[in-house]
Amino acid sequence: MRKTFLTLALLALPFAANAQTKVAATPAMGWNSWNHFATHVTDKDVRAAADAIVASGMKDAGYIYVNIDDAWQGKRDASGNIVPNSKFPDMKALADYVHSKGLKIGIYSSPGPQTCGRYEGSYQHEEQDAKMYAQWGMDYLKYDLCSYGQIMRKAAPGDQAKQYEMMHAAYEKMHKALLATGRPIFFSLCQYGFDSVWKWGPTVGGNSWRTTDDIEDSYMSMSNIGFAQAGLSKYAGPGHWNDPDMLEVGNGKMKYNEYLTHMSLWAILAAPLLAGNDLSQMSAETKSILLNKDVIAIDQDPLGKQGDRVSAEGPFEVWSKPLKNGDVAVGLFNRGHDAEQMSLPLQKLGLTSSSKIHNVWNTSDNGHGPWMVPEHGVVLLIVKK
């Protein structure tokens, strides 16, 4: 049964691919409320984020989506329509406000009866909710597995294959509901990498899919998630992207060099760049990281290739990402506790000593190395062959 489902879905993939690519030609960029505000997010917070994206220059840099995560939902009305809670008095007016800034707006739900925060999910109301999102003017949906896992386990105890088949079908159901609205809506799958989602995400209409558990604002969490993406590059491309979760840059629990590693690695991974900090309270340092044009260009490169690991020796890792015009982005990462010198492995990268080098985070240094890479730090280079 599962094999039949995947076969049919794969046959339909070419027809769905065009629509997927239109809304996700490059990885999504924007902001999401969860990492900083969690379940306390309000209409006022979302409006402030939209204002800050414009005022800070983030909009001009490509940050377009303003995404409301969990905890916006109230109960359903007598007709079964989802109603926002008191923190969001008029969702249509909020969407109109975000759109008036030249930005797009996103929302959050679950295929289960409850979200992770125990708010109302979309279970058995998928078509109804999709229509409501479209009426409000939503441009993005993050769909979080949450309580649907309980339904899977109850329906097929001990049968993981059947449970995964149900999971695929739940995401496909919402995808079809979104398509039926006629509104282009970016579909973000949040199911923590279960059943190697990178292999089936495109078949259920995913524009991106979470490959990991939730990120936290710590070097251990960020690095464990980011460096675990090795080997997944072949599954990403225009219209469908691997998602190692949102950015923690600016939330304050990592050091400057660790946030540089975070931003650099996510760019090489062609990951969605969804800021997760309070944009209305950004420091100059945080802005310098989030707004660096070169690192954004690496992430958004129109070639649409995800990077991958080239080598790993002890705590030292080299990652590269092919760019348009034959250029290559290279990250020299030091996961150790002491600053150490690192050099470009020219032969492994197919480069020569005559290649021109641009140092993304230190533009005054365009030498050929070796470079002193600080503890938990990175040297991010754009190399022209």
**166 near 155, Cβ under 8 Å?**
yes
The answer to whether 214 is a known catalytic residue is: yes
Do residues 284 and 52 lie in contact, with contact meaning Cβ atoms separated by under 8 Å?
Answer: no
Q: What does the buried/exposed string (b/e) look like for 232-261 if buried means 16 or more CB atoms within 10 Å of the residue's CB? A: bbebbbbbbbbbbbbbbbbbeebeebbbbb
- Distance CA(97)–CA(116), nearest Å, equals 27
Do residues 142 and 105 lie in contact, with contact meaning Cβ atoms separated by under 8 Å?
no
**DSSP β-bridge partners for residue 138:** none
> CB-based contacts of 65: which residues, under 8 Å, 6+ apart?
28, 29, 30, 31, 32, 103, 104, 105, 106, 139, 140, 186, 274
Catalytic pick among 45, 69, 139, 144: 144
Phi/psi for 224 (5° steps) reads -60, -40
195 is catalytic: no
Q: How far is CA 134 from CA 131, 172, 190, 199, 339, in A?
A: 5, 18, 20, 28, 51
Q: Quote the CA–CA distance of 229 and 317 in Å, as a whole number.
A: 13
The DSSP symbol for 273 reads E
Q: Among candidates 57, 32, 31, which has minimal Cα distance to 287?
A: 57
- Measured CA distances, 365 to 41, 268, 329, 381, 382 (Å): 42, 20, 16, 10, 12
Helix (H, G, I), strand (E, B) or coil at 209: strand
C-alpha separations of 186 from 107, 139, 237, 300 in Å: 10, 6, 15, 16
Instruction: Kindly name the residue from 195, 214, 294, 308 that is annotated as catalytic.
Output: 214
Catalytic machinery residues: 144, 214
